[in-house]
Amino acid sequence: MADASSPAPVVLLSGANRGIGAAIVNELLPHGYRLSLGARDTASLAATFGPETQSTLHAHFDALEPESAKAWVAATVEKFGRIDVLINNAGSNEKVSLLEENEEALDRLWAINVKAPLRLTRLCVPYLERTGRGRIVNIASMSGKRVRNPFVGYNMTKFAVMGLTHTTRHVTWDMGIRATAICPSFVRTEMTRESTKIARDDMIAPQTLARIVRNTIELPNNAATAEVLVNCRLEDML
């Protein structure tokens, strides 16, 4: 829970309007966090969570539009005066197989899954440093730890997110910032709607993943977790 003796922490969350993002919103709000929510369509945020309040901001953020990231961070600081946590949740699972030549789709995957989180990290680090205990959570995937499908575009970008996370840890540790990659297997969202590899009831509930996110950002600086692997089926690595 946010410390009642200090200002309520401000969380900047991408992809907030559905799935894992929406579950994180519903997990954090009752625990005293202020939330800056980013989505391509701000109307979807209002439809899901109601109108903005003193504790929430609805912002346009499109991972394919670099200027939208700058405007979002600026609006967050203007309203709340600080940023304590960055959660890079927005992502794409557009399918690009190893032997398929689809440069446009591959470029989109890199832009959404890797370049956009890097951009937000660069923009937020100065504000996170000021808190003395800034947090960055990158929602990665088990596909960034091992490969069990032919979709090279998704797998490559999720491995890159792991590289981003560990580089961020290296660079920002002495700033008091702690970066963590959360790597779930199948999560019960629209993104996995067409998957037949595992029954939906056996997939990770987004609410469960949201609790893991909250636990991660609430850990003290001297108990940081670099990676959290979340399995819903037996994996070769734990």
Q: Which residues are catalytic?
A: 154
The identity of residue 189, as a single letter, is: T
Q: Do residues 72 and 52 lie in contact, with contact meaning Cβ atoms separated by under 8 Å?
A: no
Counted residue by residue, the chain has a size of 238
Tell me the one-letter amino acid at 113: N
Q: For the sheet with 178-184, list strands across it.
A: 56-60, 34-39, 10-14, 85-88, 135-139, 178-184, 227-230
Please tell me the number of Cα atoms within 13 Å of 143 on its side-chain side: 17
Please give the Cα distance from 179 to 148 (Å, whole number). 26
Q: How far is it, in rounded angstroms, from Cα 81 to Cα 104?
A: 38
**Coil/strand/helix, residue 137:** strand
The DSSP output letter for 92 is -
Torsion on CA atoms 62, 64, 66, 69, rounded to nearest 10? 20
DSSP 202: G
What gap in Å lies between CA 154 and CA 229, rounded to an integer? 17
